[in-house]
Structure 1
Amino acid sequence: MGIENPEMCLSCEDIGGQPTLQLKTCCWQPPLHRLIYLVFFTGSSEASMATPQAVDYSRIFGVHDSLQMVWVLNGNSLITTPFNNNVSPVSLDLMTCMDKEFHDAGKGNPVYLGIKNNHLCLFCGEIQGQPTLQLKEKNIMDVHNKKKAQKPFLFFHNKEGSTSTFQSVSYPDWFIATSKTAGQPVILTKERGKDYITNFYLEPQD
């Protein structure tokens, strides 16, 4: 049992044959659900001090933008559409990358992004010299479990107020973005705050 000061724990010991309650300095670890919250939503140093096993975890989120548009699969690509009861939006599977090479507190938490219940992962590559967001037929766990981080699949997940941004690790300053017009593909853009939306709301689903 711990108390409000995370460096102190209650300990029972036998002193002079008498069971005695004492305060001991201890190495307290926050509960798993708090670690997950810290990793995905705050980038807190408390999370960085946790054991790797504690933050090696997948989380599922619904995603929408300020116009209440959600992402849906259209063949092998993602497009946006206004949410209604007839729409089946995708859910994002976020998994933290444990390769320390790509950890950058100033940019956010490096994550892999998969589509729940589909062996599809978001991937950044070039088409005719243009950084492009694509879907690859990959199981997110297979990508995550590689010894070396799979850079084209990595995004810096950063919190800006109550919203999230996703910056490509392979292409710095290129962000996942959506058009303000429904039916357009989810893309990468370098033009933030102009014609495209780069801030998204994530809703935990697990």
Structure 2
Amino acid sequence: MASGEKSEVPAASETVVDQDMVDWFKELFDEESVVTSHSKPSAAGPESVPEGIEPRRYSLRDIEQKSLYLQDKNLVAAPLQGDNSAQEEILSVLPNRSLDRKRIPLILTVKGGSQGISCGKEGQPKLQLEDKDLIYLFNNNEEAKRFTFFKSYNSSTHTFESASYPGWYLCSPAEAHKPLMLTSDLGGAAITDFYFNRK
């Protein structure tokens, strides 16, 4: 490479723009009809979906291709192949519209949007599932914060930082069949880089 030229491939730690997410946020929140529907509480109540808002579904796999499945009220990571692939849990996702959209704040849920992936309410972060519906959380900004993760992208993998606990990241233990956790040791033994593919 000639002197002064820049590589077009970002370094693994470098965050790049996730254009798909930017376009989705713009589609949801920049259209006049959608903005108008957000300007006042919905007459249909807190469980209603504002016009134009559609949750998205994603698979989440760590860089060792461990998928997610539910076991004893935990979200567990393991390689799922063959007949076991049907156990894979798919995320249902909507933006948290009260937080900085440039940081891609996503409310993460499982079981078709009926359980939220929470960082807990105590002094120390603890990943857990709560019976909170995705649409309810979308319409309740303050409560949604503990279910919200800022997604960063490096052109191939994604990291998810807790909105409630800055510096704590969603992670998968190196050992299979262990529950997802939160870690403050980015780049440590636990896996914090994930593939995030729309279904």
Shared topology, TM-score over 0.5? yes
Looking at structure 2, the residues matched to 66 and 95 of structure 1 have their Cα atoms a distance apart, in angstroms, of 23
Larger-gyration structure (1/2): 1
Q: Which runs of 5+ in 2 are unaligned?
A: 1-17, 36-51
Looking at structure 1, the residues matched to 65 and 130 of structure 2 have their Cα atoms a distance apart, in angstroms, of 26
Write out per-residue CA displacement over residues 155-174 of structure 1, whole angstroms, 9 at most, x where no aligned residue: 11221221111110100010
1:51 pairs with 2:45: no
Write out per-residue CA displacement over residues 111-146 of structure 1, whole angstroms, 9 at most, x where no aligned residue: 10011426111111255x431111001111111112
Higher normalized helix content (fraction of residues): 2
- Tell me which of the two structures has the higher relative contact order, counting C-alpha pairs closer than 8 angstroms and 6 or more residues apart: 2
Letter in structure 2 aligned against 1:80:
A
Counterpart in the other structure of 2:146: 152
Structure 2 counterpart of 1:113, from 90, 98, 108: 108
Q: How does 1:27-38 map to 2 (within 5 A)?
A: 38=19
Q: How does 1:104-183 map to 2 (within 5 A)?
A: 105=102, 108-117=103-112, 119-125=114-120, 129-146=123-140, 148=142, 150-183=144-177
How far residue 149 of structure 1 moved from its aligned partner, in angstroms, is 5.8
SS of 1:197's partner is: coil
The two structures, once aligned, show a CA RMSD in angstroms of 2.6
Counterpart in the other structure of 2:93: 94
Give the TM-score taking structure 2 as reference length: 0.72
Looking at structure 2, the residues matched to 74 and 169 of structure 1 have their Cα atoms a distance apart, in angstroms, of 25
Aligned-residue identity in percent = 26
Higher normalized strand content (fraction of residues): 1
Counterpart in the other structure of 1:67: 64
Looking at structure 2, the residues matched to 148 and 72 of structure 1 have their Cα atoms a distance apart, in angstroms, of 28
Looking at structure 1, the residues matched to 54 and 143 of structure 2 have their Cα atoms a distance apart, in angstroms, of 15
Letter in structure 1 aligned against 2:65:
Q
Letter in structure 1 aligned against 2:77:
T
Write out per-residue CA displacement over residues 25-83 of structure 1, whole angstroms, 9 at most, x where no aligned residue: xxxxxxxxxxxx8452xx46x93882273884311011111111111101211111112
Letter in structure 1 aligned against 2:26:
A
Looking at structure 2, the residues matched to 145 and 114 of structure 1 have their Cα atoms a distance apart, in angstroms, of 14
The number of equivalent residue pairs is 162
Q: Which runs of 5+ in 1 are unaligned?
A: 1-36
Whether the 8 Å CA contact 2:96–2:145 is kept in 1: the answer is no
Looking at structure 2, the residues matched to 156 and 118 of structure 1 have their Cα atoms a distance apart, in angstroms, of 18
Looking at structure 1, the residues matched to 76 and 91 of structure 2 have their Cα atoms a distance apart, in angstroms, of 14
Whether the 8 Å CA contact 1:168–1:174 is kept in 2: the answer is yes
Whether the 8 Å CA contact 2:97–2:141 is kept in 1: the answer is no
